[in-house]
Amino acid sequence: MNKRITASIIAGTILIIAIVFQSVNFFLSDNFSESSQSMFSGNQQLSEKVIENGTASNRIVRVNIEGTIVNTPGSNSNPFSGSGYQHEHVMKQLDKIIEDSSIKGVLLYVNSPGGGVYESAEIHDKLMEIKDAGKPIYVSMGSMAASGGYYVSTPAERIYASNETFTGSLGVIMENINYQELANEYGVKFNTFKSGKYKDIMSPTREMTKEEREIIQNLVDESYEQFVDVIAEGRDMSKDKVYELADGRIYSGKQAVENGLVDKIGFREDALKDLKKEVGGNPQVIEFKNSIGSFFDLPLAESLMPNSEVRYIEKLISERQGPTMMYLYSE
């Protein structure tokens, strides 16, 4: 028994020393210096990474939209969100592209099931500014570019997808959970005080009235019409044709080429090759990166806690509150 206790103490001591050593190394590193400056200033700067060498005055920027397109509160300062979609970072990249005269074209890589109506519209509007500035946008779709992922693709001059890409899911969804029956079963009662008859619309503690359903459906229909408009404009397609396609179904890349939602079967390298031809010369290809990563973007976090616990904490930090209207493909 004494040997077992001694071994446990030694193992624990070694673990503590390793953690302290790793932490000290990080705090003394350049990464911590840059992280602390950015954290306290609240301003992360973009840095450039050269992907392919070429003429610095004639550049193409690769912009990646990966993950669910939502501006989750605290996502840019969330210590556990080292990867994943960051809306502010994407918007900063698009602003930089508009301002920088050396940037002549944009390769937008979209691998997303969609996301918020508001965030998708923000990206779309910025891409339209880039397009109006005469800078061509080519889109390369990953394994999925559905709903809001397609919405942000519509300003593109050309859209590429693989045969296996899932795209489409053109439409709007808004949903909530009603747990009234569950609460009743366990004797849970709710007291609600409201200033107007619709103040608790979509409440999870009661059934919606017919009038309330009409109100929400009108909001969904309004956003749906906006979606139809951007497709019709971006794809030079009649609204009647868009209505036929925009019934919420998912399409493969092959089907999307056949129905006009996608221009060509190809991968990211194919889209880049064609964009280089349009830009001309020998363009340099770059990506923008945040100058720092997340403060706790370390292997240490997952070495101390199981991966599932890290993900659960991240969920608690970043959970969106309340029903939200989404351009989102729901499985």
246: Cβ–Cβ under 8 A, 6 or more apart, which residues? 170, 171, 224, 227, 228, 231
Supply the DSSP symbol for 263.
Answer: S
What burial class does residue 90 get, using C-beta atoms within 10 Å of its C-beta: 0-12 exposed, 13-18 middle, 19+ buried? buried
User: Which of 194, 199, 273, 315 is an active site residue?
Assistant: 199
> 164: which 2 tokens?
């296996």
Please say if 252 is a catalytic residue: no
The CA distance from 225 to 243, in Å, is 9
- Best CA proximity match to 297, nearest among 79, 25, 19: 79
User: Which of 35, 147, 153, 162 is an active site residue?
Assistant: 147
Please say if 135 is a catalytic residue: no
218: Cβ–Cβ under 8 A, 6 or more apart, which residues? none
For the chain, where are the E strands, in sequence order?
46-52, 55-66, 103-112, 114-116, 137-146, 158-161, 166-168, 250-252, 264-265, 283-290, 326-328
> 98: which 2 tokens?
């508009």
Helices (H), 60-116: 87-99
Decide: helix, strand or coil at residue 327. strand
Supply the residues annotated as catalytic.
147, 199
